[in-house]
Copies of this chain bind each other. A is one copy, B any other.
Amino acid sequence: MAKAAEQVIEKIKQSAKDVESKIISRDKPTMRLPIRALNNVKYLPKQGYLQIQSKSKIRTLTVNTIKTFAQSLRMMALSKNLIQTNRHATKREAYYQSKNWAEAMFREQDESDTVMDDIEAMLGVNRERMNFRPEEHGGAVAGSLIVVDRQRRTGKRIEIDCTKFGSGAYTVPSTVEHLQFKTKARFILVIETGGMFDRLLEEDFFEQTNCILISMGGVPSRACRRFIRRLSDEYKLPVYVFTDGDPYGYMNIYRTLKVGSGNAAHLNRYFCVPGAKFLGVTPQDIVDYKLPTHDLKEQDIKRAQDALKNDPFVHHHKQWQAALKQMLKMKKRVEQQAFAKYGLDFVVKQYLPKKLKNPKTFLP
């Protein structure tokens, strides 16, 4: 078994032993769970992510908590079994497995998801390492990258050449820890929409610039974030992010990719991409390129105001404060495909080359 897997099993055993020894000595067993919310995080500019702080709740075994307690222990046992048999379970499968746990059965998947999150936070181990995985994949990849995976049945090494997908793409699997990479790319361009990804493929963008293109398809999945993080760490590759110009693209997509989020605060150190920089579309681009826009919706305005008021990442970066304020003043948002006004290839012939000549102007 890999060393990382043994560490997780060791942590599970230790937690279970703590509970056991308290019971034997007639103490009440407890579990300490960090509070996962934006008011219990701090932005660490040097390390580059939102770090969880010390607020926590203690769950003591009582008549009221006995079911959750039992469920937590069974969930940990399930994880141990998965690791030992080299299997993975989706969150939904974990929920259904509980249907055979007699009184410890979960009634709804919400309950089992919460217990899983609690264990993650308690053990300080992301659930992918406990062999649980999300339902959704996420991320299409094309460009100067070879992904090294293994054949499931035989364990045979296979190399997946991401330049060789024609009009298709490589799909990031739901767990990525076991992958290895080979690349001579100059940078990674991470894109919000599948439409823009297809545009860049069609215009031979990755061949011309020797880069790796990754389409997030909205807010990036954990697997997609981890995939980008590992690539950027291991090859010191710059990561440039290209989203729609709206508060959702800036905060929910870019900020989550770069520094993590509040409700998954205990995991941000694994899933953040601290080196990411924001290429566009910026509010200033709307002015500079006379782009067609839409009015900000009410929720856009609320999201931008919230970010200015409560987001530790925005508090740290004056440039983001300025950008959000400029957007609120203009009352306009813009989509990344708006460049099509000037012709389908404008984005690759004009906009991106001009931006890429000067990455220092990117937003932090």
5 contacts between A and B (CB under 8 A): A136-B217, A150-B166, A151-B164, A160-B168, A169-B171
Residues in B neighbouring A309, C-beta threshold 8 A: none
Contact A173 B168 (CB under 8 A): yes
- A110 at the binding interface (Cβ < 8 Å): no
Tell whether, in the assembled complex, residue A198 and residue B174 are in contact, meaning their CB atoms are under 8 Å apart: yes
User: Is A80 among interface residues, defined by CB-CB distance under 8 A?
Assistant: no
Query: Is there contact, CB below 8 Å, between A152 and B166?
Result: yes
Residues B149 and A158 in contact, CB atoms below 8 Å apart? no
A99 at the interface (CB under 8 A from B): yes
Candidates B89, B92, B151; contact of A166 at CB < 8 Å: B151
Interface pair A344/B158, CB less than 8 Å apart? no
Would you list the 3 A-B pairs with minimal beta carbon distance, nearest first? A149-B166, A96-B340, A90-B195
* Contacting residues, chain B, for A340 (C-beta < 8 A): 89, 92-94, 96-97
A335's nearest neighbour on chain B, judged by CB, is B92
Nearest-Cβ distance from residue A217 to partner chain B, whole angstroms: 8
Bound-state CA distance A337–B94 (Å) is 10
* Copy total for this chain: 2
Q: Which residues of B contact A292 (CB under 8 A)?
A: 96, 99
* Chain B residue contacts of A88, Cβ below 8 A: 198, 202
Q: Is the CB of B204 within 8 A of A344?
A: no
Q: Given A152-B201, A174-B198: A87 and B166 within 8 A (CB)? A: no
A153 partner residues in chain B, CB cutoff 8 A: 204, 207
Q: Tell whether, in the assembled complex, residue B173 and residue A171 are in contact, meaning their CB atoms are under 8 Å apart.
A: no
Contact A169 B137 (CB under 8 A): yes
Instruction: Flag if B97 contacts A140 (CB, 8 Å).
Output: no
Cα of A342 to Cα of B202 in the assembled complex, Å? 47
The answer for the CA separation of A340 and B93 in the assembled complex, in Å, is 6
Q: Closest approach, in angstroms, between the C-beta of A286 and any C-beta of chain B?
A: 13
Chain B neighbourhood of A94, CB < 8 A: 340
Q: Which residues of B contact A166 (CB under 8 A)?
A: 149-152, 158, 160, 173
Q: Which residues of A contact B (CB under 8 A)?
A: 87-90, 92-94, 96-97, 99-100, 133, 135-137, 140, 147, 149-153, 158, 160, 164-175, 178-179, 193-195, 198-199, 201-202, 204, 207, 217, 292, 335, 337-344
Chain B residue contacts of A133, Cβ below 8 A? 198
Cβ-neighbour of A168 out of B97, B100, B149, B207 (below 8 A): B149
Taking the nearest CB of chain B, how far is it from the CB of A83, in angstroms?
13
B97 touches A344 (CB 8 A): yes
Residue from B150, B169, B194, B202 in contact with A135 in the complex, judged by beta carbons closer than 8 Å:
B194
Residues B337 and A195 in contact, CB atoms below 8 Å apart = no
Least Cβ–Cβ distance between A226 and chain B, in angstroms: 13
**Cβ contacts under 8 Å, A344 to chain B:** 87, 89, 93, 97
Q: Are B194 and A174 in contact (CB under 8 A)?
A: yes
Q: Which residues on the B side are within 8 Å of A198 (C-beta)? A: 88, 90, 133, 173-174
A204: chain B residues at CB < 8 Å are 152-153
- CA of A267 to CA of B135, assembled, Å: 31
Q: A173-B168, A341-B100, A344-B87 are in contact. Are A195 and B135 (CB under 8 A)?
A: yes
A99 to B337, CA, bound (A): 12
The CA-CA distance from A201 to B90 in the complex, in Å, is 13
